[in-house]
Structure 1
C-alpha cells in the first residue's frame, strides 16, 4: 500500500513537470514564423452521408427543437372557437410574441413563443403569469429565429 501511494505521488509529480516543460517549449521568446500549411482530415465517408441525412431531416421538420408555453388545452364541443378566442386575446395583450393553434385529436392547444432554451420560456411565463396562471412549458418544434443581418455603425 505504501509503494502504491508513493508510485501515484511520483507519477503525479512527473506528469506535472512534463506539462510545465511542454508549456515552456510551446511559448518561444522570439516570434515564430506563421504556419501556412493546411491540415488534412481523414474521416470515414459515412460521416458525410450522416451529416447530409441530418440536414435533410431538419429541413423536413421546418424548425428546430425548442420550447413554447402552452396557455390553452381543451377538447369537446366549441374547443376550436375557444382556442381562437384565446389566441386572439393573447396576441392583443402580447403583440411581440407569436402564438400557434395546434390540433392533436381530440385536443386543441394554443402555444406561444419560440424559445431555444427553457430560461427564455421562463421569462415569458413570469411576464404572462397574471393573465395565464396555468401556462406551462412544453418541448416543441419551433420556428427558426430571425437573424439580424443589418450591420451596426460600430463595426
Structure 2
C-alpha cells in the first residue's frame, strides 16, 4: 500500500515538473523584472504588415446632386399628413385604476386621481354591475408607467392595459 502511495506521489511530481517547463521553439524572450522566473515572449511581426502610401491632400470640389426629388417628396408628405388627420384613434395604453361595483368608491378615487394628476383624462364606464375607471391616453407604455408611479400610493392594484386611445390633435 505504501508503495502505491509513493508511486502516485512520484508520478504527480513528474507531471507537475513537466507542466511548468518552458516551451521550446519560441523566438526571443526577455525577463520582465517584476516577477522573477516569469518570462515575456516577444515577436516582431512588422515584416508581415502591409505598407500603404499616404494619400495626397487635395481639396475636393463640392458635388451637387443632379436628381432632386424634394418637390415630389413634399407632395407625398402633404398627402400622408392629410390622410393622418382623419384618424381619431390608435392603439395605446391606459391605466386601469378601478374595476368593481361600488359607485361611491370609484367616484372618490376618480376625484383624488384628478387632483393628483389633472393633465390626464379619465374614462369611467359602467357595465352592469361593474364600474371601470381608466385614466390617460398614452402612446407608449413608458409614458403610462410614469403616471402610474405618481399615483401608485392611491391605487396600489392599478395595471397598465392596452386600449384604443384618442389621438391628441393639439399639435
Pairing partner for 2:145 from 122, 129, 140: 122
Residue equivalent to 1:111: 134
Consecutive unaligned residues in structure 1, runs of 5 or more: 1-28, 40-50, 149-155
Which structure has the greater CA radius of gyration? 2
Partner of 2:150, secondary structure, is: helix
Pairing partner for 1:35 from 47, 63, 66: 66
Cα drift, residue 119 of structure 1:
0.8
Consecutive unaligned residues in structure 2, runs of 5 or more: 1-59, 71-79
Counterpart mapping for 1:1-155 below 5 A: 29-38=60-69, 59=87, 62-75=88-101, 79-148=102-171
Greater helix proportion: 1
Partner of 1:91, secondary structure, is: helix
Superposed CA RMSD in Å reads: 3.1
Give the TM-score normalised by structure 2: 0.49
Cα drift, residue 115 of structure 1:
0.9
In 1, the alpha carbon distance for the partners of 2:153 and 2:105 equals 19
Cα drift, residue 94 of structure 1:
2.2
Q: Deviations over 1:70-94 (max 9, x none)?
A: 111013xxx3443333222321232
Structure with the bigger RCO (C-alpha within 8 Å, sep 6+) is: 1
Partner of 1:130, secondary structure, is: coil
Give the TM-score normalised by structure 1: 0.53
Conservation of the 8 A alpha-carbon contact between 1:66 and 1:139: yes
In 1, the alpha carbon distance for the partners of 2:164 and 2:103 equals 22
- Number of aligned residues: 103
